[in-house]
Amino acid sequence: MKKIVSILLVLGFLFGAYLPLEAGSPRTDAGRAAVDQGRQTIPDKRFYELFRQYLLGRLEKEASDVLVSKFEVNGNKSVSRGTMKYHVYQKDKRRLAGYVRLEVAISVNGMVENTVRLSGWVDVFGPVMCAARNLKKGEVINADDLYTARKNISHLSTDILRDMDGAVGRIAKHSIRQGTLLKDWMVERRPTLARGDVVTILAESGDLRVTVPGRVLEKGYKGALIRVENVMSRKEIYATVVNGSTVTVDF
């Protein structure tokens, strides 16, 4: 008899503890569902995608050329359910390399509900021009004198030469060692005219056209104003460079 009572007490205890929990569970689930139906949470992964998309669009780079690390999201709060749009922008307008900070304005059904702050370390890779051999001061640079290397350009100066067109045909301003990454200040354009060149000085006005021989007194580039000596009169004048053999003066 005592054994039966004990069994009944154990069963009563078990069922008494179990039934209220079952009764309460539907209410708890219903409460969670109501919260879920009214709000939505944006995963951090989505903000990472927005961060990279902004960088790739502004930098005009391929995905493999931009590496993001130490990425952080701040202020990510749930927002109302509805049609959601993102507006990504940069407040400080700093260079998009190194430590970069962006902000994302989140609007739901046309109303801005939250602004999230994004930050990350950005490394940008790209091609740069390097000297394939030792170059002497005054040498004209040819395509064979260069090679292209892929470098992390995030912290390099903005005057690095990134393509052949920016270097071929230019002159080394000083000696450049093999393997050196070329920068704009290391080279200069080849002048159209050099000091001592003989040119034709051309003057035109309507149907009148006059030419006299001249001698260049300083180097100059196409379109530049330089000093030229009129060989006939021995007078020094200023003329505009047209090409490697002609300069023009105004009447």
Measure the CA–CA gap between 232 and 211, rounded to whole angstroms.
11
The residue from 105, 124, 143 where one domain ends is 124
Q: Over the stretch 18-66, which tens digit does the pLDDT of each residue have?
A: 333 333 333 333 333 233 567 899 999 999 999 999 999 999 999 999 9
Q: Over the stretch 150-199, which tens digit does the pLDDT of each residue have?
A: 999 988 888 899 888 888 989 999 999 999 999 999 998 888 999 999 99
Domain encompassing residue 112: 44-124
Tokens 């170059």 belong to which residue?
Answer: 135
Q: Over the stretch 71-110, which tens digit does the pLDDT of each residue have?
A: 999 999 999 999 999 999 998 888 899 999 999 999 999 9
Any domain includes 228: yes
Any domain includes 110: yes
Contacts of residue 213, defined as CB under 8 A and 6 or more positions apart, other chains included, come to 198, 199, 200, 201, 231, 232
94 and 69 housed in the same domain: yes
Any domain includes 10: no
Top pLDDT among 29 and 134 is at 134
| Reported pTM | 0.61
